[in-house]
Amino acid sequence: MVVSQAPSQRPLIREPESVGIDALPLLYSYPPLHGWTLHSLMFPAVVRCAACEHLGNSVLVASNATSGEVVCAACYGVSTAAGPVPTVAAVLGAEPARQAMDPV
């Protein structure tokens, strides 16, 4: 017979405290991209994303070089896909700019 406990009788489950990238078991760190560094972990670790607040097991996280915050791989992809604003905006219907090495 299984007896369930009332919600008030259940033990409190403490959420993990926020940790920096130094506390995680790093396997490899990729070169930085737009201020973010992607890290592979040795084994799944419970990580809370600083951007979307998702709490879950992850083997791939990213850290910001300036703030030190840790984000999940999905939020890292969104932040790096946007990237810096290009210096020259493309005109719709225009021909792509030729590289300096292309013969004329």
In the prediction, which pLDDT does 30 show?
92
* Exposure string for 50-87, b = 16+ CB within 10 A, e = fewer: bbeeeeeebebbbbbeeeebbbbeebbeebeeeeeeee
Residue 21: pLDDT above 70?
yes
Model pTM above 0.85? no
Residue 14: pLDDT above 90?
no
In the prediction, which pLDDT does 1 show?
47
In the prediction, which pLDDT does 67 show?
86
Could you give the percent of the chain with pLDDT greater than 70?
A: 57
- Half-sphere exposure (Cβ direction) of 79: Cα atoms closer than 13 Å: 22
The tens digit of pLDDT for each residue in 60-99 reads: 999 988 888 999 988 888 766 665 544 344 444 445 444 4
Q: In terms of pLDDT, which residue wins out, 77 or 9?
A: 77
Can you give the residue ranges of every domain in the chain? 25-78
